[in-house]
Structure 1
Amino acid sequence: MITVKDTVHDHIEIDGVAADLLDTPAVQRLRHVKQLGTVQLVYPSANHTRFEHSLGVYHLASRALGHLGIGGKRADRIEAAAMLHDVGHGPFSHNLESLTHRRTGKYHDDVDEVLATGAVGEVLRDHDLDPEKIAGLVAGEGPYGGLVSGELDVDRMDYLVRDAYHTGVPYGTIDTERFVRELTFVDVGTGTNELVLDEGNVQTAESLLLARALMNPVVYTHHVARISKAMLRRAASDLLDATTTTPAQLRRMDDHDFLAAIRSCSETAELSRRYDERDLYKRAVWAEYDDVAERVHEADHDTESALEREIAEEAGVARQHVILDVPPEPSMRESTARVTVNGEVRRLERQSPLVSTLRTAQRNQWRLGVYAPHPATDRVGRAAADVLGLDPDGLVAEVRGAMPTTLDEFRDGA
């Protein structure tokens, strides 16, 4: 047995297949992939990694299995999936995932190949575990996959608490012990058991929703984090176009590998310098959901690229000095979690009036961004407003009209 001292869960005891997986290269690589990517540019202490998060997910999964009375080979499979659930992440976690998925067809939870080969595959087979079944659990398949990747998974239980701890933001606090203690499997009429929260835990489920909703605007979608993410995505795309680096190779890099690659490539060196020195692009446009035309909401990658070129041409700036950032449609996966009320299993969105309120808040927090180097933000903003069909004066004033009132606002800029 291995005992690890963790900042969030105190002492974590690791044994069995999880202990043997710990020192495989695929898991150790996660020491060099930051959990929150570029959020460290806003919150300097947010330097925690996917490695420590994986330990936390394993710990919570193990606790949940104990409360659920699940043991033997089934528990081994679930604990292995918990330890391995993030090995498919590329550099800077989710930041580059849309690019690598577009070019490889794989998301971070598509880990069949990683689990079937190399040291990970050897460890799993030594413990008489089928890598394909473990990969299915990582992807959330079946009722037990929902414990690792689902609406009530131990993944989000750990990352919300861990991200709040390392950023110092007091919004991600949830009672993880109550969560894992109150999980149960029931037949909801589909012929298979599903993971639900037991009777009397509507507020427990709501706490997960609320924590996620409060963390989203101040951490996960903070405008500085979004701008730096967008710049790194552009650098990654340019790196693939300018060098022999393949999307599959990019996906297996860690943060250090990727930064070294874009520093040494002439086509990405300027974006790399800006990231290293925190000389980031600024907001030329920051538009609310209802102000953005449906054609922009629905734009695919090629359409977004065409819009960037059109904005750059109208503004009279180089193409690389315009980045259009259209976030995904607002969604709240946790609202479909199932809770038990008066002996009946119900979806949280049916039971909790908080869900509709948070959905409205989420839509109100959504922003389209157009970013450019500081001297060009005014020209790019007005060109973007014209190309995208937005009100130029209102949008530019929203971004540039008010002076910063705190040191943090001054530091983060527009």
Structure 2
Amino acid sequence: MTRHAEIIRDPLWDNIRLEPDAVAALDTPTVQRLRHVRQLGHAFLVYPGATHSRFEHALGAYHLTRRALTVLGDRGDLRGVPPEDCVAVRLAALLHDIGHYPFSHALEEAGFPSHEALGARRLGEGELAGVLRQVGGDALIERIAELIQGRSDSPLAGLISGSLDLDKIDYLSRDARMCGVPYGTVDVDRLLASIALVEQDDGRRAVGVHEKGVSALESLLFAKYQMYRNVYWHHAVRSATCMFKRAVRAAVGTGRLDAEFVATATDGSLMTELLAHDPTGIGRAVHERRLYKRALDMPASEVPDDLPTWLSDDPDAVERAEDALAAELGLEPGAVLVDFP
């Protein structure tokens, strides 16, 4: 590989150093697409600064993973870990979101396949596959796929998927910064300095923290709670997300939009097609920020225990329930929406 390492300036982490293999992966169309997929979906309708992209987040996750590997290496924790695992983890951090749909997680909630599964598939396609095979062959592609799908048995897997994954540290910090809220504060330096590979009861090693890092870990967990409560699950964000899901499902269900196009689109290209092929008018309402208002807000703890089934895992059942409620109120289908954040 003839490329050289590069330094990229980032508003959150300052200088991010990219190794030559990461530079090569970054310059493929699969990864460049992430420049045009917003990290927080429709949150910009509430927090105007929340227009940062999955691309920026991928760089941040890569940077933090690289820092963590340096800490583990300096401490001697990487003894016995295959060098190929370190390469795979570093690149998995960069590539973990390549399967993401436009507008964050909304379409997975609407019943589309998981972005992890799509990402694993895209690792073996196009220019990106050629880059990865040049670095480490098909074995590297498989290692990265296992990491981003949460099924790797590497001791380092927890850096990519788990309660302490570095993806989480970046998105909480970055999202808080871009939304202009004080909720995502994490003691990142302390947390990274305390990361270790600890032995579990079964004798295998996994990512953990030294005792001195427990308070920093607690700050991470509390930041996640605060960001979900105040940003990710803000009622207007959820309203826009719910409306968007209904509009896309209707367009795909009537053949006006192709599901494969939806999976590979950017925010802009999907919205353009949706506005041109929206049988409900809901997509345009989202685009113009004419959002549905809350009629009822019920905590899960108050839902009756004798319900025959829980709808949230079945988008078709949710849609039938919505239309039944609308009919009872004398409204058109799609005029009442039910959301399970």
How far residue 244 of structure 1 moved from its aligned partner, in angstroms, is 5.2
TM-superposition CA deviations, 1:85-106 (whole Å, max 9, x none): 000100101111122xx34xx3
What TM-score comes out, normalization by structure 1 length? 0.75
Contact 1:139 1:145 in 2 (8 A): no
Out of 202, 205, 216, the position equivalent to 1:193 is: 205
Q: 1:131 to 1:36 in 2, by over 3 A?
A: same
In the alignment, structure 1 residue 322 sits paired with structure 2 residue 336: yes
In the alignment, structure 1 residue 95 sits paired with structure 2 residue 99: no
Partner of 1:4 in structure 2? 8
Q: 1:135 to 1:219 in 2, by over 3 A?
A: same
State the one-letter code of the partner of 1:302. D
In the alignment, structure 1 residue 177 sits paired with structure 2 residue 189: yes
Partner of 1:28 in structure 2? 32
- After TM superposition, list the pairs within 5 Å mapping 1:31-50 onto structure 2: 31-50=35-54
Question: What secondary structure, in the 3-state scheme, does the structure 2 residue paired with 1:215 have?
Answer: helix
Partner of 1:302 in structure 2? 316
TM-superposition CA deviations, 1:11-61 (whole Å, max 9, x none): 111113111111111110000110011010111011100000000000000
How far residue 318 of structure 1 moved from its aligned partner, in angstroms, is 0.3
In the alignment, structure 1 residue 117 sits paired with structure 2 residue 125: yes
Q: Output the CA distance in 2 between the equivalents of 1:32 and 1:68.
A: 34
Partner of 2:175 in structure 1? 163
Partner of 1:85 in structure 2? 96
Q: Output the CA distance in 2 between the equivalents of 1:297 and 1:35.
A: 33
Partner of 2:85 in structure 1? 74
Partner of 1:351 in structure 2? none
Question: What secondary structure, in the 3-state scheme, does the structure 2 residue paired with 1:11 have?
Answer: strand
Question: What secondary structure, in the 3-state scheme, does the structure 2 residue paired with 1:282 have?
Answer: coil
Q: Output the CA distance in 2 between the equivalents of 1:176 and 1:146.
A: 16
Q: Which has the higher strand share?
A: 1
- After TM superposition, list the pairs within 5 Å mapping 1:104-143 onto structure 2: 106-110=113-117, 111-129=119-137, 130-140=140-150, 141-142=152-153, 143=155
Question: What secondary structure, in the 3-state scheme, does the structure 2 residue paired with 1:151 have?
Answer: coil
Q: 1:296 to 1:87 in 2, by over 3 A?
A: farther
Q: 1:297 to 1:161 in 2, by over 3 A?
A: farther
Q: Output the CA distance in 1 between the equivalents of 2:39 and 2:174.
A: 9
State the one-letter code of the partner of 1:9. W
State the one-letter code of the partner of 2:28. T
TM-superposition CA deviations, 1:222-258 (whole Å, max 9, x none): 0000000000000110110122533233111110111
Unaligned runs of 5+ in 2: none
In the alignment, structure 1 residue 217 sits paired with structure 2 residue 221: no
State the one-letter code of the partner of 2:60. G
- Equivalent pairs, count: 322
Partner of 1:356 in structure 2? none
Rg larger in structure? 1
How far residue 188 of structure 1 moved from its aligned partner, in angstroms, is 0.7
Q: 1:120 to 1:317 in 2, by over 3 A?
A: same
Contact 2:257 2:274 in 1 (8 A): no
How far residue 266 of structure 1 moved from its aligned partner, in angstroms, is 4.2
Partner of 1:284 in structure 2? 295
Contact 1:164 1:171 in 2 (8 A): yes
TM-superposition CA deviations, 1:161-188 (whole Å, max 9, x none): 0001000101101121222221111221
Q: Output the CA distance in 2 between the equivalents of 1:313 and 1:109.
A: 37
In the alignment, structure 1 residue 230 sits paired with structure 2 residue 242: yes
Question: What secondary structure, in the 3-state scheme, does the structure 1 residue paired with 2:103 have?
Answer: coil
Question: What secondary structure, in the 3-state scheme, does the structure 2 residue paired with 1:321 have?
Answer: coil
State the one-letter code of the partner of 2:67. R
State the one-letter code of the partner of 2:198. V
Greater mean alpha carbon deviation, residues 302-311 or residues 117-126: 302-311
Contact 2:327 2:333 in 1 (8 A): yes
How far residue 297 of structure 1 moved from its aligned partner, in angstroms, is 7.1
How far residue 296 of structure 1 moved from its aligned partner, in angstroms, is 7.7
Q: Output the CA distance in 2 between the equivalents of 1:247 and 1:145.
A: 31
State the one-letter code of the partner of 1:40. F
State the one-letter code of the partner of 2:317. T
Aligned CA-pair RMSD: 1.6
Identity %: 38
Partner of 1:51 in structure 2? 55
Greater mean alpha carbon deviation, residues 301-310 or residues 179-188: 301-310
Q: Structure 1 segments of 4 or more deviating over 4 A?
A: none
Question: What secondary structure, in the 3-state scheme, does the structure 1 residue paired with 2:338 have?
Answer: strand
What TM-score comes out, normalization by structure 2 length? 0.90
Q: Output the CA distance in 2 between the equivalents of 1:323 and 1:296.
A: 20
